[in-house]
Structure 1
Amino acid sequence: MKRDVVFPPGRQALYEQNRYSPAVRANGLLFVSGQVGSREDGTPETDLDAQVRRAFDNLNAILEAAGCTFADVQDVTLFIVNPEAVFQRIWGLVLAEYWGQGPYPAVTAVGVTWLYGFDFEIKVVAKLPGQAD
């Protein structure tokens, strides 16, 4: 079975270089690979806040390419280096901006020791538009 892959504009070479799909459509859902705060060339933003915002911008580009918005996101997994020190800062930075008022998606935050030079990663599952609830 061939995967129905979604590529955001302008970053396909980066995904091909790293050999993974940014998102796959299946059974009415969009499964988005973990997004980090990488610039167009794949290097990380150096400031944590900028890295988080860039990760959300990268995620938004994939959602848009699939015809989705943050309102379609049902499940979120956050991977955070040093979560005890930065979780509230990270979540406070983006929650209202991207999800507004509740109800919010399901969220799991995982503390990790290594993210390939990044401090934050987000992966989501979204409902594709036009799918029944």
Structure 2
Amino acid sequence: MTTRDVVFPPGRQALYEHNRYSPAVRSNGFLFVSGQVGSREDGSPEPDLEVQVRLAFDNLNAILAAAGCTFDDIVDVTVFIVDPESKFDTIWKLVPEYWGAAPHPTLTAVGVTWLYGFQFEIKVIAKLPDVSND
């Protein structure tokens, strides 16, 4: 079995070990990032939706930075939203702060009924920067 090349953001390794998953894995030139939610330092959900979305993006950006990436390296995004009909506008008004300039990554938005107490989750695939020594 191949050993996974796991990326941990600073200061949150215990949270991932407790929940038994990797925050991100490098493979074949890509970074596959697990769904990120707006959790507080202890892993509990932030109750305020706007703050929760910002924390989810902050958590995502910490993982991207740990892998040497930025949001501009993302090629595919999946978001999960509990009750998207009532929450989509609130969430989507915050996206431009994090999304970057066009062209934008691909996007799949999924309405769900449960996210372990969270209202929003974002999962991405990013292209790792070339590190060749030309």
Q: Same fold (TM over 0.5)?
A: yes
Q: Which residue of 2 aligns with 1:121?
A: 121
For residues 17-96 of structure 1, the aligned pairs below 5 Å read: 17-94=18-95, 96=96
SS of corresponding position for 1:31: strand
Q: Which residue of 1 aligns with 2:105?
A: 105
Q: Which moved more, 1:103-112 or 1:85-94?
A: 85-94
The TM-score with structure 1 as length reference comes to 0.95
**2-side partners of 1:44 and 1:31: how far apart?**
23
Q: Is the 8 A contact 1:6 1:23 kept in 2?
A: yes
Q: CA deviation at 1:100?
A: 2.8
In structure 2, the gaps of 5 or more residues are none
SS of corresponding position for 2:94: helix
SS of corresponding position for 1:93: coil
Q: Which residue of 2 aligns with 1:4?
A: 5
Q: Is the 8 A contact 2:72 2:100 kept in 1?
A: no
Of all paired residues, the percent bearing the same amino acid is 76
Q: CA deviation at 1:131?
A: 7.1
SS of corresponding position for 1:90: helix
**1-side partners of 2:38 and 2:44: how far apart?**
8
Matched AA of 2:30: L
**1-side partners of 2:131 and 2:118: how far apart?**
34
Q: Which residue of 2 aligns with 1:15?
A: 16
Per-residue Cα deviation, 1:67-95 (whole angstroms, up to 9, x for no partner): 0000000000000001111113212212x
Q: Which moved more, 1:84-93 or 1:107-116?
A: 84-93
Matched AA of 1:14: L
SS of corresponding position for 1:41: coil
Runs of 4 or more off by more than 4 Å in structure 1?
A: none
